Chain A
């Protein structure tokens, strides 16, 4: 049987970079029952996994550490570098901290790809580190079949100001600072099906630091915070409510979504992780008919360098939202609330 040129091209470029995270179920299995060293200064560790680890150095200073890297999400190497760096830095912001130092992590197909590509990636990463006020101290590189880039980042925070995922309070409002749908849009970009204005808005959002949103949040008493990445909006919200004794309600008409994302989901142009995320957390979520058939996929879409999801008291929610928008995250919205029950259940309507 003859193979068309299109078919040949697709078979050669069949990788799903943005959603390369290990599926949540598999990861939990691998970590289960590990004999972990303990330390009284470890404030946030693997026993209650969060966006980053936190270690107390003195009574006034705690260190936050995180690492994140992935395969190429966009063709332009400079912007890939920006996105990977913004994504890695985001975990520090999600903990309420300020990033200070970073190390590069590079896997590079030497001999297959021109070294100038790597140079551009590193330049993109450095631009974002400068914007974040982070100093690059070094890094580590290996040869690999597939290009990968990311950062290990260290940040600092006052031990009493650490923002974990699970400290939600009943009645809190949930603020999402960036639109969702980047996994679906970047998947459809591989099919050359995304109009330029849509791909531009998604790529711009991915290159944007969560710095300004985190600064806005630091001016309020925020109860809990996480950043939306590989498990999708509902996967990360599920982590927040799991074990909290509380539930959440999400109003889909308020959730900011990139234009086109729902249409591409309807055509099956989605990363596999959408389905894996939904299989893993679907039982915690009830979708009302008003959520429609295709938006639920977008709500489980793995995000690359997604926004922050902030849980804040109702009386502060409007002022915080106004501030977040003033600081430049124009699409930010109050998308729902934390409710007493049912426990560990997310109602999406």
Chain B
């Protein structure tokens, strides 16, 4: 594993050393040592942008950042000609494995879920995908109180993934009125690409 000692260097050098190691020397595992918080944050952001996993430990006044991923050069980033906030917001996935929120009273739980779905639009462009599995698929079928809200979300380009196995299990496959019937691979891939996953 390559170790880059970037202590004593100011930005952007620590990021550029990391970039060179990954892109030119094709290192898939490396540790970068920096001595200040700003460099740590920049190196971590760079590793994230390369889809590298990372961990940070702090010792002896330095930050040891270990990254692991697939080395290589990405195609040059496409630079937006003008700023579009929806492209830059973190991608949030909401995974609903139930048609009610929490335990205690099922009737209350159902009302809370309805209210939750109706309020989701307030997340703005950060909301990227909704995933419905297990009992959650019942929110997407005929008779669901939030159907119009989910359809409105879908119309505003939020992708809704509905678990096909689950629909089949509840015998609701033909009743589904919103979203895309999908499989576990699509769901797992979506979870991997998201910046944040909210489980309900």
Contact = CB atoms under 8 A, between A and B. Distances in A.
Contacts of B3: 1
Given A14-B13, A188-B12, A269-B42, A293 B88 contact: yes
Given A275-B38, A290-B85, A267 B15 contact: yes
Contacts of B12: 16, 187-188, 190-191, 268-271
B97 interface: no
Contacts of B80: 259-260, 262-263
Given A266-B49, A272-B11, A293-B90, A257 B83 contact: yes
Interface in A1-42: 1, 4, 6-7, 10-11, 13-16
Interface in A226-277: 252-253, 255, 257, 259-260, 262-263, 265-276
Contacts of B38: 270, 272-276
Contact of A263 (B13, B37, B79, B125): B79
A270 B42 contact: yes
Interface string B11-51: 11101110110001100000000001111011111100100
A4 B126 contact: no
Contacts of B124: 288-290
Contact of A268 (B20, B43, B126): B43
A138 interface: no
A6 B11 CA distance: 15
A259 B10 contact: no
A109 B43 CA distance: 31
Interface string B66-105: 0000000000010111110100111000000000000000
A267 B11 contact: no
A289 B89 contact: yes
B56 interface: no
A266 B79 CA distance: 12
Interface residues of B, number: 40
B123 interface: yes
A259 B36 contact: no
A266 B19 contact: no
A270 B46 CA distance: 10
A267 B45 contact: yes
A279 B41 CA distance: 12
A11 B85 contact: no
A12 to B, nearest CB: 10
Nearest to A256: B83
Contact of B19 (A16, A187, A191, A291): A191
Which of A257, A266, A267, A295 gathers most chain B CB within 10 Å? A267
Contact of A292 (B44, B81, B88): B88
Contact of B20 (A6, A187, A188): A6
Contacts of A289: 89-90, 123-126
B161 to A, nearest CB: 21
A43 interface: no
B90 A263 contact: no
B184 interface: no
Interface of B: 2-3, 9-13, 15-17, 19-20, 24-25, 36-39, 41-46, 49, 77, 79-83, 85, 88-90, 123-126, 195
Given A259-B82, A260-B80, A271-B12, 4 more contacts: A270-B38, A279-B37, A289-B125, A292-B90
